[in-house]
Amino acid sequence: MNTPAYIGRFAPTPSGYLHFGSLVAALASYLDARAVGGRWLLRMEDLDPPREVPGAQAAILKSLENYGLHWDGELVRQSERHDAYAALVDELLQRRLAYACTCSRKQLEGYQGIYPGFCREAGHAQDNAAIRLRVPESRYGFVDRVQGQYSQHLGREVGDFVIRRRDGLYAYQLAVVLDDGWQGVTDVVRGADLLDSTPRQLYLQELLGLTQPRYLHVPLIIQPDGHKLGKSYRSPPLPADQATPMLLRALRALGQPLPDGGEQARAEELLRWASQHWDASRIPRTRTLAEAQLR
Ligand code: GLU
Ligand code: ZN
């Protein structure tokens, strides 16, 4: 009775439609939750209107429904959470954990994306400046359920990172941590492209006094030629009439068993069977998986 409930989530960004790689991540997250009778939430990470593709939000919801991936409760949109992010940025500034940065892209060239700390003690005004979070000179790590031990030295490998952009948009790192905490997420299952965001998120959780969720990073599906599957506007949406074959292909990518005659099953039936046979230990322990290997 008192065991903490499992709360998982899928958190797509509407900068494109769902493609096969996002299906693999959504499916893993869904099955990991359903296998233990957990809840599965949906959060639209629509933080960046300029990069949003018109119609992508509706198409994502439609794809999930067509594929039988029904979520619990109300859809949450990050675009409706700006007050919470603003309050958090203020709090971090007050606590002197964050500061305003006015460096231009040009000034930051040649530092390999690791902020050299120019504005740390400058005391710039907030307007027309990015807000950066100070990182400690220490290592943050965790044990991923698939990828194993992973850590980064925040000072040396990441540097002070942006939590609010100069144009006023809130950063993914900030919003994801606040919202996972706010929604009570116990288990984050997502693509391995976010493995190297996790130490930053652990640090933010620590600052906010949040409980660390468990993490499972599934392999990122790449093209046979090694290129990333387009997350861009060019990638076609998941074909609506191909739910069963695409789900079977995604299950295969996740190393899961397939039911006899699965090709004839409806998406919902297939998902029920797959949740009963879900075994996360069979997921390939690799950060990327070329699609050609799956055939
Ligand atoms: N919105 C992020 C993405 O689509 C995923 C966030 C997460 O799962 O933590 O890449
Ligand atoms: Zn700066």
**DSSP string across 67-115:** TT-PPPSPPEEGGG-HHHHHHHHHHHHHTTSEEEE---TGGGTTSTT--
218 C-beta closer than 6 A to ligand 1? no
Residues 198 and 98 in one domain: no
Rounded Cα distance, 160 and 116, in Å: 8
Residue 1 maps to a domain: no
| Percent residues over pLDDT 90 in the chain | 91
Quote the domain boundaries for residue 126.
82-172
Q: Which residues are annotated as a binding site?
A: 9-13, 45, 101, 103, 115, 119, 172, 190, 231
Residues 185 and 286 in one domain: yes
29 C-beta closer than 6 A to ligand 1? no
Cα torsion angle, 115, 121, 126, 131, sign: positive
Q: What is the pLDDT of residues 109-135, one digit of tens each?
A: 999 999 999 999 999 999 999 999 999
Last residue within a domain, chosen from 138, 155, 172? 172
DSSP 117-182: -TTTTT---STTSEEEE---SSEEEEEETTTEEEEEEIIIII-SEEEE-TTSPBPHHHHHHHHHHH
Last residue within a domain, chosen from 149, 172, 195? 172
Give the number of the atom of ligand 1 that is nearest the alpha carbon of residue 25: 8
Q: Looking at residues 160-181, what average pLDDT do you find?
A: 98
Residues 6 or more apart in contact with residue 117 via CB below 8 angstroms: 159, 160
Return the best residue to mutate from 18, 170, 190 for the ligand 1 pocket (most ligand atoms within 8 A of CB): 190
Q: Looking at residues 23-27, what average pLDDT do you find?
A: 98
Residue 105 maps to a domain: yes
* Residue bearing tokens 């397939």: 258
pLDDT of 228 over the 90 cut:
no
Residue 2 maps to a domain: no
Residues 186 and 289 in one domain: yes
Residues 27 and 63 in one domain: yes
Q: How many separate domains does the chain show?
A: 2
Q: How far is the CA of 168 from the centre of ligand 2 (A)?
A: 16
Among the ranges given (18-22, 72-76, 93-97), the one the predictor scored with the smallest mean pLDDT: 18-22
Q: How far is the CA of 158 from the centre of ligand 2 (A)?
A: 15
pLDDT of 76 over the 90 cut:
yes
Q: Which ligand is nearest to the CA of 41?
A: 1
Residues 142 and 48 in one domain: no
Residue 234's pLDDT is what? 45
Q: Looking at residues 221-233, what average pLDDT do you find?
A: 70
pTM: 0.95
What 3-state class would DSSP assign to 236?
coil
Q: What's the CATH number where 59 sits?
A: 3.40.50.620
Residues 209 and 164 in one domain: no
Residue 235's pLDDT is what? 57
Rounded Cα distance, 214 and 254, in Å: 18
Residue 165 has a CB neighbour count (10 Å cut-off) of 14
pLDDT of 261 over the 50 cut:
yes
DSSP 229: P
Residues 200 and 277 in one domain: yes
pLDDT of 286 over the 80 cut:
yes
Angle subtended at Cα 229 by Cα 195 and Cα 62, rounded to the nearest 5 degrees: 95
Residues 193 and 282 in one domain: yes
At 251, the amino acid letter reads: L
Residues 202 and 280 in one domain: yes
231 C-beta closer than 6 A to ligand 1? no
pLDDT band (50, 70, 90) for residue 3 = low
Residue 230's pLDDT is what? 60
Residues 98 and 68 in one domain: no
Last residue within a domain, chosen from 155, 172, 189? 172
pLDDT of 294 over the 60 cut:
no
pLDDT of 295 over the 50 cut:
no
Tally the C-alpha atoms within 13 A of residue 60's C-alpha that lie toward its C-beta.
27
Residue 229 maps to a domain: yes
Between 2 and 89, the higher pLDDT residue: 89
Rounded Cα distance, 199 and 181, in Å: 16
